[in-house]
Amino acid sequence: MVRYGLFLQTAVIRTTHSMIFIRVLRCLVKPTLWLVYVFTINELITRFLLFIAGENIEVYRNFSFTRFPKIYMHDPYTQFRMKPGSKGAVLTSDFKITYEINSQGLREKEISREKTRPRILFLGDSFTFAEGVPVGERFTDIVGKAFPDIETINAGVPGYGIQNMYRWYEHYGDEIKGDLVLCCISECDIDRAIYAFLGEQGKHIIPREESVEGRDRTHLVAYLVSGSAYTDVRNYLDRRLKSSYFYSYLSVKYKVAVMSWRLEKRDQEMWNTAKTRAKQRDIGDKEFKERYREKVAGQIFRSLRDLTAQRGARFMIVNIDVMPMGWLDHLLRKLDVPYIDLSPILANAKGFRYKIDPHYNSYGNKLIGEALTEVLSKTVPALMEESHV
C-alpha cells in the first residue's frame, strides 16, 4: 500500500509538472508567433522600401563608430597625432579605404625638405583629412590640381580642435615652410577647444580602433546582451540577425539615436560648466555660447596669426561647415584675419555627405575644392610673387 501510495503521489506530481509546462508553453506560443509575424512584416516592408530607395543594405550592416585603424599615437604637444609611416584599412557603413601616413605623420605624399614651389598648408580635422575620400579627390587635392605651380599639403587630423591645430603648427609646421596657411574649420573644432580650455580633455571623441575588420560591429544585440558570459550567445545572435534587413536597419537607427542623445547631454554639461565658471548663468544660451566661443577662438586665432606672420606666411580661416558663424566673421575682422565662408555653398547643395557618416563625400570635397580655387585665384598670383623659391 505504501509503495502504491508513493507511485500515485509521483504520478500526480509528474502530471502537475506536465500541465504547468503545457500551460507555460501555450502562454509562450502566442506571443512568439506574434513576434515572428511582426518581424516578418517589418522585414518585408524594410526590404521593399530599401529597394525602392535604391539603398544597399551593406551600408547598415557595416555601420560602426569605432572605424579607425592603428594610425594614431600619443603626442606630448598636440595630445595625439597620426603615426608616421603607419597604414590601415578601414571598413565603414559608407566606404572602404586604406589610409597611408607619410614619414611626417600626414596623409600625404612624402614632403621634400627642399621647397621647389610655393606651398599652401591646410590645417583641419577629419573634414580636411577627408574621411573615406581617396587621395586625389580631397578638396586640398582639387586646389592643388588647379594651381600646378603651387604645392598643397593636407595636415588634417581627425579629432583635432583648433587648439590641436595650433599646437601642431607650432611644433611641426615650421619644417613644412608653408607660404599660405589655411585653417579649415567647423563649429565643433571650436567646441573641442572649449573642452580643452575647461580642462575636460577626456570629453574628446578620440578616434578608436577596430580590432578586426567586419567583426563586432555596432548592432543592437551587442548593446542589449553584454558581458563576457554572454559573448558566444551575442556573437551567434548577431551573425544570425545581421542577415535581416530590418534588424540591421533598426540597429543603426538605435545606435545613432543613443549617440546623439549622449552628445547632446555632453554638450549641455559643457556649457553649464562654462556658465558656472564665468558666473553668467543669467545670460541666454545662444548669446553666451557666441561670447565664449569668441573668447576661446580669439586667443587661439590670434596666436596662429602672430606665429604665421613670424614665419613669413599668410594666414586665412576657412569655414567648411554647413552653418554660418556670424560671430566668427565679427571676431576675425577685429583680428584682421582674412575669412572665407563656404557655408552658403554647402547649405544650398544636396548629396554632398555620405548616407550615414556625416562627413563629406567626394562630391562634397569637389564643391569645397572648386569654391576655394575660385577664391584663391586672387591670392595665388601674389603668393607666387612673394615666394623666394
* pLDDT tens figures, 225-255: 445 545 666 666 666 776 777 777 777 777 7
Tell me the C-alpha distance between 260 and 1, whole Å: 73
Distance CA 215, CA 205 (A): 21
Range of the domain at 26: 2-54
Q: Are residues 357 and 281 in the same domain?
A: yes
Percent of the chain beyond pLDDT 70?
A: 76
Count of structural domains within the chain: 2
Alpha carbon distance 257, 323 (integer Å): 22
185-206 residue pLDDT tens: 999 999 999 888 887 543 444 3
In this predicted model, which residue has the larger pLDDT, 39 or 20?
A: 39
Residues facing 183 on adjacent strands: 123, 317
pLDDT one-digit tens code per residue, 51-69: 777 777 766 776 666 666 6
Same domain, yes or no: 8 and 121? no
Here the cell at position 27 is: 502562454
Residue 209 has pLDDT above 50, yes or no: no
**How far lies 98's CA from each of 16, 122, 131, 149, 275, in Å?**
64, 21, 10, 28, 43
Residues 28 and 169 in one domain: no
> Do 16 and 116 share a domain, yes or no?
no
- How far, in Å, CA of 318 to CA of 341, rounded? 6
Q: Is residue 257 part of a domain?
A: no
- Residue 96 maps to a domain: no
Task: Examine residue 221 and state whether it is found in any structural domain, yes or no.
Answer: no
Q: Give the integer Cα–Cα distance in Å for 326 and 290.
A: 9
Please spell the DSSP secondary structure of 10-51, one letter per residue: HHHHHHHHHHHHHHHHHHHHHHHHHHHHHHHHHHHHHHHHHH
Q: Tell me: do 179 and 288 sit in the same domain.
A: yes
| Residue 287, helix vs strand vs coil | helix
| Residue pointed to by grid coordinates 593636407 | 154
